[in-house]
Amino acid sequence: MPNPYREIFQAPGAFAFSSAGFIARLPASMVGLGIVTMLSERRGEYAIAGAVAATFALASALITPQVSRLVDRYGQRRVLMPAAAAGALALGGLMVATWAGAPSWLLFVFALLAGLMPSIGAMVRARWTEFYRDTPQLRTAFAFESVVDEVIFIVGPIVAIGLSVGVFPEAGPLAALIFLVVGVPLLCAQRRTEPPVRADTAGLDTSVIRLGGVQVVVLAMIAIGAIFGTAEITAVAFAEAQGQKAAASLVLAVYAAGSLIVGLVFGALRLRASLATQFLAAVALAAATTLPLLAVTGLASLALVFFMAGAAVSPTIIIAMGLIERLVPPRQLTEGMTWGITGIGIGMAAGASAAGVLIDAFGAPSGFWISVGAGAAALFVVLAGYSRLLGLRAETLVCEAA
Which tens digits make up the pLDDT trace of 120-158? Answer: 888 888 888 888 877 777 878 888 887 787 778 777 877
| 179 domain residue, yes or no | yes
Alpha carbons 102 and 348: distance in angstroms, whole number: 25
pLDDT digit string (tens) for 258-274? 877 877 777 666 777 77
The pTM of the full predicted model, rounded to 2 decimals, is 0.74
Q: What is the pLDDT of residue 201?
A: 52
Q: In 3-state terms, what secondary structure has residue 195?
A: coil
Q: What is the pLDDT of residue 397?
A: 39
For helices 120-132 and 333-362, what crossing angle results, to 10°? 140
Burial 225-264 (b: 16+ CB within 10 A, else e): bbbbbbbbbbbbbbbbeeeebbbbbbbbbbbbbbbbbbbb
- Look at residue 278 and tell me whether its pLDDT is greater than 90: no
| 233 domain residue, yes or no | yes
| 315 domain residue, yes or no | yes
| 202 domain residue, yes or no | no
Q: What percent of the chain has pLDDT over 70?
A: 93
Find the Cα–Cα–Cα–Cα dihedral 376, 379, 383, 387, rounded to 10°: 150
**What is the span of the domain harbouring residue 214?**
16-193+207-401
| 6 domain residue, yes or no | no
The predicted model gives 51-78 an average pLDDT of 84
Q: What is the mean pLDDT of the chain?
A: 81
| 180 domain residue, yes or no | yes
Q: What is the pLDDT of residue 184?
A: 92
Q: Which pLDDT band, with edges at 50, 70 and 90, does 398 fall under?
A: very low
pLDDT digit string (tens) for 186-240? 998 888 888 877 655 555 557 777 777 888 999 999 998 888 778 777 887 888 7
Highest mean pLDDT among 18-32, 144-158, 171-185, 318-332: 171-185
Q: How many domains does the chain have?
A: 1
pLDDT digit string (tens) for 65-97? 888 888 888 888 889 999 999 999 999 999 998
Q: What is the pLDDT of residue 85?
A: 92
Task: Work out the number of other CB atoms within 10 angstroms of the CB of residue 279.
Answer: 25
The predicted model gives 279-284 an average pLDDT of 89
The number of angstroms, rounded, from the C-alpha of 81 to the middle of its chain's C-alpha atoms is 20
- Look at residue 380 and tell me whether its pLDDT is greater than 90: yes
Task: Specify the DSSP class assigned to residue 167.
Answer: T
245: CATH: 1.20.1250.20
Q: What is the pLDDT of residue 394?
A: 41
pLDDT digit string (tens) for 332-374? 778 888 888 878 877 877 887 788 788 877 877 778 888 899 9
Burial 308-333 (b: 16+ CB within 10 A, else e): bbbbbbbbbbbbbbbbbbbbbbbbbb
The predicted model gives 3-17 an average pLDDT of 82
